[in-house]
Structure 1
Amino acid sequence: MERLPVMSDACAVCGLGTVVERVRRTTHVVAESPAMQAVLVRARDFADADAPVVILGESGTGKEVVARALHASGPRGARPFVAVNVAALPGDLLESELFGHVKGAFTGATAEKQGLLEAAHGGTLFLDEIGEMPLPLQAKLLRALEDGEVRRVGDTRAFGVDVRFVCATHQDLARLVTEGRFREDLYYRLKVLVLRLPPLRDRPEDVLPLARRFLAEEKRPGPGFSPEAERRLLAYRWPGNVRELGNVVRYAAAVARGAEIRPEHLPEELTAPAGPAARGGTAGEPAAMATLAEVERAHVLAVLERCGGSQAEAARVLGIGRNTLWRKLKAYDGPA
C-alpha cells in the first residue's frame, strides 16, 4: 500500500510542509535560522511548479529531506516519491533500476522489471548525487527529461511517463561540465530551479533545535543536554553537517543511558583540547600544533568509530566516496 506524505505541520514563515513521511518514520524539517528559512521560502515557491529542481549543498545538509518536503507540499504530494542514490550503483545496474528491463535483456534478466521512472509516474523521482551518473546514461536520462519517454533495457518500444525530476549533488556541476564529466545539454535541462542548502556551520540557530529533535527520536527517558554540552554542540564546526549531528546525538544518547547528556558523553572531537584544529578554527585563529594530515586522520578515524566501523556510513558522513575512504584508511596503516 502506498504511503502518503504527512502534512500536519507547516512552516510559519513560508507555508512549506515541515513533517514528511519516509519509509520507517517521519522526518521534520528544522529551520530556525534565517539562512534555512530563506531556502524554504524558495522551496515553497518551487513546490507548485513542474520544472526540474537541482538541490546543491555539502554532504549531510539535508538535501533529500528538503526534496521530500518540496514534493509533499506540491500537487504531486499524494503520488509516489521515488529516491535513488546514483553513486551507490554501478552504471549497468543503475540503467536497469531507472528504466527497467525486458526478460532476456542481459544475463540474469529472467523476468520483466519495472524501472523507477515508471514507479514514479505521476510523482517525483529524486536522483541523489546526480554528478556521479555515467555519461552514456546521462544521454538516456536527457531523452526522458525532454520527451517524457522511457525505453526499458532490451526493448524496442518506448512509452510515456509523467515524472517531476528533483536532483541533488554536493559537487560543482558546472565544473564537471568543463571537465567533460557531465553533459552540458543535461546540465542546462536540469538547472531550471536551484536550491542551495547552507552548511550547518552557517546556520547555528538550528544546531540545538536539531539536536533536541534527534534526541526525541531516540525515545529515551530523562533530561536533555546540559548547558555545557549545548555549548560544545554550538562551538563545533560540523564538517559532516546535519547527518553528523544526528550521529553525535545517537552516540551521546547511548552513552548517557537516560542521564543528562554532559560533555563527557559527547564524542572526542567535540571535547578534545585541540578542538579548534578539529573544528577548522576561525579566520585568523591559530590551530593546535598539528599538521593538516594529522587533523584529517584523527577526524576520519573518529567518524569511522562513531559509525560502528561501517565504511559506507562513514563515507556518507564525511562526504567522500567509499573508494576514497578505503585509500585513506590504507594509508593510515603506515606512520601517522
Structure 2
Amino acid sequence: MPANSVRALGALGLEAELRDRGRVIARQRFLDERGRLLLEIDLPGFWGEAGPCVALGHRELHEVLREGIDVRLATTVVDLRQRGGPVHADFVDGSGEDYDAVVGADGLRSWVRAHAFGGGEPHFVGQASWRLLVDGFADVTSWTVWLGRGRAFLVIPLDGGRVYCYADIDASETTDPTSGDPAALAELFGRFAEPVPTILAAGLATGGAPYFSPIEEVVHEPWVLDKIVLVGDAAHAMAPNMAEGAGMALEDALVLAETIASGRPLEAFQARRRPRVEFVHAQTRRRDRTRRLPGTVRNASLRFAGRQIFNSSYAPLRTAP
C-alpha cells in the first residue's frame, strides 16, 4: 500500500499495528525482462511526511481492520428499499432492519450498484492476471517489477520471507489464456531474468492454483442515491498498476465518515472525492499506455523520464484527501 493508503489507516489509529504485521517498503524498482534496471524510486524520499509504504497480505489487513469491531458475517442482503426515510434491508434469513444509511463497499461486481443504482458490468481493459503468495524468498527486499513484451511480473516482499507475486499479459478475452495449466503460465514468463522463473516455479510447485482474474474497471455515475452510497471498487474500480485500490477505498471511508459526522448530505462526499478518484483513474490508464509502448521506447521512457512519470502519477496523493 502506498503511503496515502497507510496514512488513511493511521487516521484510524492503525498504523502501528500495520507496521507490526506488514513490511515497510523502501524502494520501488522497474527492470526489463532481462533484469536491467530502468528506474529506481526511493520511496521514503518521495513520500516524505505522508508516511511509509507498507506491504501485507489481504488476510492480515482484514484482521487489522476488524479488531475491536462487531462484524456480522455470513449475512446476505437480498433487497434494499428507501422511500424518503431510513433504508430498509432484507436479509437472506428472512430478517430485515432499517438503517440511516447503507454503504455499498462490495467490490468490482457490486450487488448494491446493480440492485440499487442499476449499474452495469465492469469494463475489461485488455489484461489477464494471476496472483499468488510464495514462501522462501527472504532475499527479495524491494517492490520489483520486470517488464516484457505485452507482459509483466511483480514481486513484493511480505513478512517471514513470503513474497506476493502478480503477473499479467495483454489479452483479448476475459478467460484464462492458460486454461489453468501451471506449465503454460510458467512458459509465459520462462524467459524473464532470475529470480522470476524460480519464484514462479516455487509457487506453482505447491499445488495451489494461482488466483486468476481479468483486469477490469468501473466508471459509474452517481455514487449516491438518497441514503445509499457506493465506495471503493463498487464505485470506481481501476487497473492495479498504481496499487491504489485499497487507498482510494480507505480514503473514501474517511471522507464519508467526516461527511456524515458533520451532518452534510451524502452528495458532498461524492463532490469531494470524485476529482481525486478521476485523477487516479486517468493515471492508471496513462501508465498502461506507457507500458504497452514498443519495448525499446518504453524502456527509454522509463530510463530518461521515469521519475517525472512517477512524480506526475503520485505527487497529488501526498496531500490528504
TM-score of the pair, normalised by structure 2: 0.31
Q: Which has the larger radius of gyration?
A: 1
Q: Which has the higher helix share?
A: 1
TM-score of the pair, normalised by structure 1: 0.30
